[in-house]
Amino acid sequence: MLREFIPDELITEVLSFLPVKSLMRLKCLNKSWKTLISDPAFIKLHLKRSARNKHLALFSRIQQTSYNFRVAPFRLHCLLENTSGTITVPYFPINKDRVSLNVVGSCNGLFCLVGYYHTPTYINYKKILFYLWNPATRTLSNKIKFYCENCFKWRVAFGYDNSTETYKIVVFNPESYEVSVFNFGGNNIWKNIQSFPVVLLPLDRVLASHGYRDVYAHVNDSLNWLVIREESQFVIISLDLSSETYRQLLPPQGFDKVSLVLPTLAMLMDSLCFCHDFNGTNFIIWQMKEFGVQESWIQFLKISYQDLPIVYNVCSRLPLFPLCLSENGDTLVLAWDRGKQAILYNTAEKTGYTDNCKWYGSKEYVESLVSTC
Amino acid sequence: MAEEKSQASSSKMLTLKASDGVLFEVELNIAKEMKTVQAYIDDCEDIETIPIPNVLGKHLAIVIEYIKKTNEEYDAEFEKQWNMDDLQLLLLAANYLNISGLQECLCKAIAKRIENKSPEYVRKVFNIENDHSPEEEAKLRKEYKWAFEGVDKD
């Protein structure tokens, strides 16, 4: 046994490298460890370390007819090394309210879940439930109710505002353009904010007909949607989560041809990305190097469909969704076919392979201790 | 002339004296990786022997070797050679000498070794007393029962 004592700040540093499961267990060690592990400053430090280990969380239904789903987080580097056999134990959110659950978004280890009363025995068009779920600590927040007329029309999004350190749920009605925001840990009420700037057809309505709902990009402190304005011009509506005001951004100048496949937005390397088909032969990803600066769009990646391990035909009108990029920039993970397939594309060698998992969605995920209260 | 000068300064040797009196001659650029030593040199320019009162010779030797050889491959294999007591003493040394890369490497190594261990095991590692009451501890163990699944037997 060591005679020297390790000072507290070094113990904290050691603990910050532990996975969440170990830390939950070590709350039993003594009172000061229990306090430390629940301390917001430690949780922040742990998140910083954890963010270096990106995971991809894949969702699947437990059974065809089930309204429950499970999440399996894959360590990104396991996917890259093709050691996908090592699936970790999947997580199940507890569904006490017996709603049909879906994932809105993921941020700092928390998932925002949306629950619809759309089960075989009961349909309620006027009430939606939301929850914050941390699968690593196995905690679920209290349910948040949202009342509206025809809730299935409303679009949902989830984000984090660094300036106030608040998690926010944003819902908007694509017909009336009403927008409502819920701040977690704030006064916990729904607040109407400025309406969505009037536009013609939110793209996601078209995407929804192909099975993609609620497509948006959460970039730093903003939520971004791609919409079409008059004269078929694509525009990005960006909602700043801290001021709760909008600005409109334009896609890159090099993009002007609308193809059979709709373009989409993505978040890669902490930047807003605009992704589109080119001539039915390539998939191009643009990166907005400096958020909000039109001139800062650069063409980041051009992928030939021939280099992808799938038969990609633009006539299917199914977009490819970039999900995340590995730390070293070598591997890009793309979702395709409503997220049922994950494609891993090596940017240097220009080759890809696919993981044939039967999942219906995927999001970038990091393990964290962040509280759901 | 300038070339000669820079050559001379890079091959300038310093002596570090460990707590048990063991002496180590190191090149200046190696010694500078230890920010504590760098601060010492900045304060007293002509110093030739620097006392390192908190670190045993055996650990100082390991630290110096780390600084010379550190790279991704070396770091990955480095921690495997030492037992838990040595890892902790090396961590204290790295912290005192202010070598951030080594400090992080050692914290990660210690974390890896306790990752799958019980609270009892970890208490012994860090020599910490349990001040939870039996009721409190039982309550926590029940609440986090799932976190105890698959833990290494002590």
DSSP letter string over A19-79? -HHHHHHGGGT-HHHHHHHH-HHHHHHHHHHHTTS-EEEEEEESSTT-S-EEEEEEEHHHH
Kindly report the three-state secondary structure assignment for every residue of B57-106: HHHHHHHHHHHHHCCHHHHHHHHHHCCHHHHHHHHHHHHHHCCHHHHHHH
Residue pair A258/A238 in contact by the 8 Å Cβ criterion: no
Interval A17-57: pLDDT, tens: 999 999 999 999 999 999 999 999 999 999 999 988 877 77
Q: What is the pLDDT of residue B82?
A: 94
Q: What is the pLDDT of residue A85?
A: 46
Q: What is the pLDDT of residue B60?
A: 96
B140 closest CB neighbour out of A6, A18, A27: A27
A94 at interface of B, judged by CB pairs closer than 8 A: no
Angstrom distance (rounded) from CA A145 to CA A140: 15
Q: What is the pLDDT of residue A127?
A: 92
Q: What is the pLDDT of residue A186?
A: 75
Pairwise CB contact (< 8 Å): B127 & A1: yes
A89 at interface of B, judged by CB pairs closer than 8 A: no
Give the closest residue to B67 by CA, choosing from B30, B94, B93, B42: B30
Interval A156-177: pLDDT, tens: 999 999 998 999 999 988 788 8
- Residues A118-135 have a mean pLDDT of 86
Pairwise CB contact (< 8 Å): B126 & A13: no
Give the closest residue to A241 by CA, choosing from A198, A182, A177, A174: A182
Q: What is the pLDDT of residue A271?
A: 93
Q: Which residue of B55, B72, B132 is the best one to mutate when testing the A interface, meaning the one whose CB has the most A CBs within 10 A?
A: B132
Question: What are φ and ψ of residue A21, in 5° steps?
Answer: -60, -45
Higher pLDDT, A158 or A228: A158
For the ranges A60-69, A140-149, A221-230, A346-355, the lowest mean pLDDT is seen at A60-69
Residue B2: band (very low, low, confident or very high) from pLDDT cuts 50, 70, 90: very low
Q: Which residues of B58-97 are buried (b: 16+ CB within 10 A; e: fewer)?
A: ebbebbbebbeebeeeebeebbeebebebbbbbbbbbbbb
- CA triplet A278, A283, A287: central angle to 5 degrees? 105
Pairwise CB contact (< 8 Å): B148 & A25: yes
Interval B39-83: pLDDT, tens: 988 888 778 899 999 899 999 999 999 999 998 889 889 989 999
CB pairs under 8 A between A and B: 84
DSSP bridge pairs for B26:
B14
**Is the pLDDT confidence value at B5 over 80?**
no
**Is the pLDDT confidence value at A87 over 50?**
no
A109-123, A353-367, B88-102 — which one is most confidently predicted on average? B88-102
Pairwise CB contact (< 8 Å): B115 & A19: yes
Residue A121: band (very low, low, confident or very high) from pLDDT cuts 50, 70, 90: confident
Element (H, E) at A8: helix A8-15
**Is the pLDDT confidence value at A84 over 70?**
no
Residue A214: band (very low, low, confident or very high) from pLDDT cuts 50, 70, 90: low
Interval B136-152: pLDDT, tens: 999 999 999 999 998 99
Pairwise CB contact (< 8 Å): A6 & B91: yes
Residue A50: C-alpha distances to residues A24, A130, A369, B108 (Å): 15, 26, 10, 12
Residue A124, token pair as written in the block? 């309620």
**Is the pLDDT confidence value at A60 over 90?**
no
Mean pLDDT score of chain A: 83
